[in-house]
Amino acid sequence: GENVEQHPSTLSVQEGDSAVIKCTYSDSASNYFPWYKQELGKRPQLIIDIRSNVGEKKDQRIAVTLNKTAKHFSLHITETQPEDSAVYFCAAMAGRRALTFGSGTRLQVQP
């Protein structure tokens, strides 16, 4: 089955700096790659997603890049703010099945 690895497990940045979180996946059939933000005690919240027919997608300060050949995808957050502090999960889906999640990255934005 699919295996998703996520790095780093923790990330601390200064407010205004950029943050990058990287994920790799194993199933070459995966074609949908969402990113979720989860605050303590709350549900995962979709922040951006990308499908395998595109290489990059942006939404304001957030961008995701996908390299299908290398089977990795990354989340980029620019101009980080304290409210960006949370746990971020990447995930991958092959076809129309279920999501396989990474182990999460705890992002701390220092004011």
Binding window for other proteins (CB under 8 A); candidates: 10-18, 59-67, 70-78, 97-105: 97-105
Site string for other proteins, 23-62 (x = CB under 8 A): --------xx-x-x-----xxxxx--x-x-----------
Task: Tell me if 10 sits within 8 A of 76, measured CB to CB.
Answer: no
Q: How far is the CB of 78 from other proteins (least distance, A)?
A: 24
- Hey, which residues between 57 and 76 contact other proteins (CB under 8 A)? none
- Hey, which residues between 75 and 94 contact other proteins (CB under 8 A)? 89, 91, 93
Candidate residues 14, 60, 70, 96; the one interacting with other proteins per rule CB under 8 A:
96
Taking Cα atoms as reference points, which of 34, 64, 65 lies closest to residue 49? Answer: 34
Residues that bind other proteins (CB under 8 A): 6, 31-32, 34, 36, 42-46, 49, 51, 89, 91, 93, 95-104
